[in-house]
Structures are given as structure tokens and as C-alpha cells.
């Protein structure tokens, strides 16, 4: 019911097309009517002017103002012949007994004949008989011959010759209307879908580009509009999702910082308390034996060294997380760095009966930071020496793939329980807390390794080897 109260765009367009088509058909019919009417009038005028010429020839031959009956053709029943002189007076009329005294110069056909030599007009007869007559006048020498016949041509007669053509035009119009119906329905569907799209866009609803538009210019334009809006919505959704992710990361970063602060505070208490106890004992007991005094001094030094390492590690992590963009990037040689670190730990390894094998030979420079890469090798080797119980530590490289160099640092020690593997890179995570503190670990070494590798655009993983021990595998970007 609503669609008829407020017609759709398709119906309005189709009704307009039908109205235009039939208006064109009507205009053509009217044009044909007037054209045919003019043609009939000119044809009748030509025939009557032929009669007028014959009458004028007859008048010139006998010199009398009269028209013999033999001159009047039989195919014009009721033909009226009048002769008017130059002053407009009727001097002969075959249908009147007495000549009227009025001037005929104002009659249209007479005026045309006087001016152009001949003329015609159609008008109602002024006598009481009424009816419409066709008048044809021709000017001669000193007079005008006028012939008139009843004019009763009907519309059917005028258009009879064009009926076939008119029926053809009507059929063409109907066919065009049928074609127009489907064409306007197609356009109407475009407009309806665009209208639905506009309403959904106004309400802020999600729009998915699922149903294709027809393959034409309007369909292409409509499809482009919908796809552009769908992409805009997707971009907004992606932006909001990225914003939520960034906000979550920021909150997570603050949480980790708070956790790091709490952990640092907890870790600082142990060496500080140890140094405090040692110093208080030395101050309060000045007469301690030399052996005991040296023991307390050594314990105080060890606690201070652990505190120094802890502060240094925290500084490195903070620098990578908060100011990673300020750390200098230069071309470095990974082979030279690995050789230098292995040489640095050679004496310590021999003292513990550990052999370090360096199989890194990649000599091409990579863009990175030498200090961070040294800390990676140093922490991995240091952890293996301190906790693994191994007698062999091996450094080796794998083939470069897609612009990345893969390096493995492995030992043949005891490894770790599988439940500890996912947590090894967490800050201050310890498998054996008491033992870790005894060997001077800060609990930040592997966290530094993970952040340093990530800063170089790589990743690091750890796994237990089948033959025993741990294998750390990390990648470095070479391009």
C-alpha cells in the first residue's frame, strides 16, 4: 500500500517514460492530421483552379459573362461558380438569381487572388444553408473566377492513408514501453540499493560488499561507492582495533614496568642487606681476626658486584624498551664478535673443564649494535657455564634464509624440565633461586638476550636437545 501512496523510483520513471511515449505518439498523430489536411486542401485547390482556368478560357472565347453547363465537371456535385469584378462586386453566380451588392474584396480567397493571382480558403457559408465550403479563386483580365464546393472531409478520411503507419507506431510505442519497463526496473534497483546503502550509512551500520551490481556504468559507479564505504568502515575498524591493541600494549608496558620495579626492589634488598650486615659487623667489631674481616669484605664485594650487574642489566633492558630508537646501528661482523666472546670465556671454561667450539664463520657485515650482540653471546655462554653442568658448549650457524642468519648456542648439560622452557626469558625467572643467587645471577640475562635479538629484527627459541642439554636458536636480520 505504501509503495502506491509513495511510488518507487522505478514506477515514477516508468510512468514518465510511458507518458512521454504516448505524448510523442499523440503529437505525431496531430502532425499527420494537419499535414494530411493541408495536402487534401492543396489537392482540391489544384483541381478547382483547373476548373477556374477552363472557365476563364471559355469567357475569353465567347466574350459573355456566363458559364456554359458543359464547362462544369460532373465529379463536383453542387459546384458553385462566381465571377467577381475588380471592384469586388459579384457579376455572375450560378446559384443566385440576383447578385449581392456587397463587396467581396475582403474575402480571403479573393484577396489572395488579387495579390498573388490565385488563392483558396475554407469557411462556413454565410447563407442560411450553412455548411463549410472550400473556395478557390483565380484572377483573370479585369475579373476573378471563384469556384466553391462543400467541404466535408472527416478525420477518418484524412488519416485513412496513415492508419497502417499509425498502428505500426502504436506497436513500436508499446514495445518501447515494455523494454522501458525492464530498463527502468534495472535502474530502479540500482537506486533502491543506493538508497538502502545511504540509510544504512546514515545509521552507521556495517556494510559488506557482497551482492554485485549489474555490469554497466551505473552499476560500476554504485559498486565503487559501496566498496569505498566498506573499505572506509574496515579502515576505521582496523584503526580502532589497532588503537585498542596499542592501548593494551601501553597498559601491559606499564604493568611490566611496575612488575619490573617491584622485582628490582625485591632483588636489590638481598645484596643491600648483605652489604649492610657485613659493614655493620666490621664497624661494630673492629678487633675481628684478619681472616674473618677478609671474609666479610669478600662477601660485601660479591654483594656489590651482584648489585652492579643488576643495575647494568636493568639499564640495558630499559634502554632497549624505552629508547630503542636511540641505540646506534652500525655495520658489525658477527664472526669477529663470536670469536672475541669465546676467547673471553676460554680461561674460565678451561678451569671448569668445558670446551667451547666456535663454528660461526659468517663474515658479511650486518647492521646492528656490537654491544647488544656481545651481551647475547655473553649471557648464553655464561648461563651454560653456570647452570648446565655441561663439558661442551657449541656455537654454530645455519644457512641464511630470506635475509636472516640463524645461530645456535647449545650445550650437552642436563637441560631443564619442560614446564620451565616457556618462562626462561621472563625477567627474574629462576629454576633454582638459591643456586642462581649463589653464582651471582641477576635473573635478567635471558630477558636481555630476547630483547637484544628482537631489537635486531630476529627471534629466539629454546629447546631440550635429544642428546641432553639446551639449544638456543636465534636469528639476525642480514639485509
Phi, psi of 439 (to 5 degrees): -90, 5
Task: Kindly report, residue by residue over 87-129, the tens digit of the pLDDT.
Answer: 888 888 887 766 777 888 888 988 999 999 999 988 876 654 5
Q: How far apart are CA 384 and CA 376, in angstroms?
A: 13
Average pLDDT of the chain?
A: 78
Categorize the per-residue pLDDT at 253 as very low, low, confident or very high, splitting at 50, 70 and 90. low
Q: Is the confidence at residue 472, as pLDDT, over 90?
A: yes
- The string of DSSP codes covering 209-272 is --SPPPSSHHHHHHHHHHHHHHHHHHHHHHHHHHHHHHHHHHHHHHHHHHHHHHHHHHHHHHHH
Q: Is the confidence at residue 142, as pLDDT, over 80?
A: yes
Q: Is the confidence at residue 320, as pLDDT, over 80?
A: no
Higher pLDDT, 297 or 129: 297
Categorize the per-residue pLDDT at 210 as very low, low, confident or very high, splitting at 50, 70 and 90. low
| pLDDT at residue 157, rounded to an integer | 56
Among 21-25, 274-278, 386-390, the range with the most confident prediction by mean pLDDT is 386-390
Model confidence pTM above 0.75: no
| pLDDT at residue 149, rounded to an integer | 84
In which order are the strands placed within the sheet that holds 460-464? 355-359, 392-401, 404-411, 470-477, 460-464
Percent of the residues in the chain that have a pLDDT greater than 90, as a whole number = 10
Higher pLDDT, 386 or 183: 386
Percent of the residues in the chain that have a pLDDT greater than 70, as a whole number = 75
Q: Burial of 437 by CB count in 10 Å (0-12 exposed, 13-18 middle, 19+ buried)? A: middle
Categorize the per-residue pLDDT at 439 as very low, low, confident or very high, splitting at 50, 70 and 90. very low
User: What mean pLDDT comes out for the span 352-369?
Assistant: 89
Q: Cell numbers of 44, please?
A: 482540391
| pLDDT at residue 436, rounded to an integer | 45
- The string of DSSP codes covering 426-475 is STT--SSHHHHHHTT--S-HHHHHHHHHHHTT--EEEEE-TTSSEEEEEE
Q: Does domain 212-326 have CATH number 1.10.287.130?
A: yes
Q: Other C-beta atoms within 10 Å of 124: how many?
A: 10
| pLDDT at residue 213, rounded to an integer | 65
Rg (CA), the chain: 58
Return the closest-CA partner of residue 341 out of 371, 315, 368. Answer: 371
Q: Is the confidence at residue 419, as pLDDT, over 70?
A: yes
Q: Is the confidence at residue 290, as pLDDT, over 90?
A: no
Q: Is the confidence at residue 305, as pLDDT, over 80?
A: no
Q: Cell numbers of 427, please?
A: 625477567
| pLDDT at residue 248, rounded to an integer | 82
Among 58-62, 112-116, 277-281, 449-453, the range with the most confident prediction by mean pLDDT is 112-116
Q: Is the confidence at residue 51, as pLDDT, over 60?
A: yes
Q: Where are the domains of the chain?
A: 6-160, 212-326, 328-479
Higher pLDDT, 396 or 268: 396
| pLDDT at residue 394, rounded to an integer | 93
Query: What Å distances lie between residue 356 and 395, 409, 445, CA to CA?
Result: 8, 10, 19
User: What mean pLDDT comes out for the span 37-62?
Assistant: 82
Categorize the per-residue pLDDT at 407 as very low, low, confident or very high, splitting at 50, 70 and 90. very high
Question: Which architecture does CATH list for 6-160?
Answer: 2-Layer Sandwich (3.30)
Categorize the per-residue pLDDT at 440 as very low, low, confident or very high, splitting at 50, 70 and 90. very low
Q: Is the confidence at residue 218, as pLDDT, over 70?
A: no
CATH of domain 328-479: 3.30.565.10
Q: Is the confidence at residue 347, as pLDDT, over 60?
A: yes
Q: Is the confidence at residue 408, as pLDDT, over 90?
A: yes
Lowest average pLDDT, out of 113-127, 331-345, 363-377, 425-439, goes to 425-439
Lowest average pLDDT, out of 51-65, 181-195, 240-254, 290-304, goes to 181-195
Name, in order, each residue with C-beta under 8 angstroms of 161's C-beta and a sequence gap of 6 or more.
36
Provide the total of helices (H) and of strands (E) in the chain, helices listed first: 12, 12
| pLDDT at residue 336, rounded to an integer | 92
- The string of DSSP codes covering 255-298 is HHHHHHHHHHHHHHHHHHHHHHHHHHHHHH-TT--HHHHHHHHH
Lowest average pLDDT, out of 50-54, 160-164, 203-207, 358-362, goes to 160-164
Q: Is the confidence at residue 201, as pLDDT, over 90?
A: no
Name, in order, each residue with C-beta under 8 angstroms of 78's C-beta and a sequence gap of 6 or more.
149, 150
Amino acid at each position: 500500500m505504501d509503495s502506491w501512496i509513495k511510488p518507487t523510483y522505478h514506477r515514477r520513471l516508468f510512468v514518465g517514460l510511458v507518458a512521454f511515449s504516448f505524448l510523442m505518439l499523440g503529437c505525431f498523430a496531430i502532425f499527420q492530421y494537419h499535414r494530411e489536411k493541408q495536402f487534401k486542401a492543396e489537392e482540391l485547390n489544384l483541381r478547382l483552379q483547373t476548373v477556374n482556368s477552363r472557365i476563364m478560357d471559355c469567357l475569353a472565347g465567347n466574350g459573355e459573362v456566363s458559364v456554359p453547363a458543359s464547362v462544369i465537371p460532373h465529379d463536383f456535385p453542387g459546384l458553385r461558380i462566381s465571377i467577381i469584378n475588380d471592384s469586388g462586386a459579384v457579376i455572375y453566380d450560378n446559384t443566385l438569381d440576383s447578385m449581392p451588392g456587397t463587396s467581396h474584396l475582403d474575402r480571403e480567397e479573393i484577396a489572395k487572388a488579387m495579390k498573388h493571382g490565385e488563392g483558396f480558403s475554407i469557411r462556413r457559408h454565410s447563407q442560411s444553408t450553412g455548411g463549410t465550403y472550400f473556395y478557390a479563386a483565380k484572377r483573370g483580365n479585369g475579373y476573378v473566377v471563384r469556384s466553391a464546393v462543400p467541404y466535408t472531409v472527416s478525420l477518418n478520411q484524412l488519416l485513412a492513408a496513415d492508419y497502417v503507419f499509425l498502428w505500426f507506431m502504436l506497436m513500436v510505442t508499446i514495445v518501447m514501453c515494455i523494454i522501458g519497463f525492464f530498463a527502468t526496473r534495472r535502474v530502479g534497483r540500482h537506486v533502491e540499493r543506493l538508497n538502502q546503502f545511504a540509510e544504512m550509512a546514515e545509521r552507521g551500520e556495517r556494510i559488506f560488499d557482497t551482492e554485485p551490481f549489474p555490469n554497466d556504468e551505473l552499476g560500476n559507479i554504485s559498486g565503487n561507492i559501496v566498496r569505498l564505504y566498506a573499505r572506509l568502515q574496515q579502515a576505521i575498524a582496523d584503526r580502532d582495533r589497532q588503537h585498542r591493541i596499542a592501548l593494551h600494549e601501553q597498559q601491559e608496558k606499564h604493568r611490566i614496568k611496575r612488575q619490573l620495579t617491584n622485582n628490582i626492589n625485591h632483588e636489590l634488598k638481598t645484596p643491600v642487606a648483605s652489604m649492610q650486615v657485613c659493614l655493620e659487623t666490621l664497624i661494630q667489631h673492629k678487633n675481628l681476626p684478619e681472616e674473618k674481616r677478609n671474609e666479610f669484605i669478600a662477601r660485601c664485594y660479591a654483594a656489590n658486584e651482584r648489585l652492579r650487574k643488576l643495575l647494568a642489566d636493568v639499564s640495558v633492558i630499559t634502554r632497549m624498551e624505552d629508547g630503542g630508537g636511540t641505540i646506534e646501528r652500525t655495520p658489525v661482523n658477527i664472526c669477529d664478535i663470536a670469536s672475541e666472546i669465546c676467547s673471553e670465556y676460554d680461561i674460565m671454561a678451561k678451569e671448569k673443564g668445558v670446551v667451547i667450539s666456535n663454528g660461526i664463520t659468517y663474515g658479511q657485515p650486518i647492521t646492528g649494535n656490537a654491544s647488544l650482540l656481545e651481551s647475547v653471546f655473553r649471557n648464553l655462554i655464561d648461563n651454560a657455564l653456570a647452570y648446565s653442568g655441561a663439558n661442551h658448549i657449541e656455537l654454530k650457524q645455519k644457512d641464511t634464509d630470506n635475509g636472516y642468519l640463524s645461530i645456535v648456542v647449545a650445550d650437552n648439560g642436563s637441560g631443564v624440565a619442560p614446564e620451565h622452557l616457556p618462562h626462561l626469558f621472563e625477567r627474574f625467572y629462576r629454576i633454582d633461586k638459591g643456586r642462581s643467587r649463589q653464582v651471582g645471577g641477576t635473573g635478567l640475562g635471558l630477558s636481555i638476550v630476547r630483547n637484544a635479538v628482537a631489537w635486531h629484527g630476529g627471534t629466539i627459541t629454546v629447546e631440550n636437545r635429544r642428546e641432553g642439554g639446551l639449544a638456543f636458536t636465534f636469528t639476525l636480520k642480514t639485509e
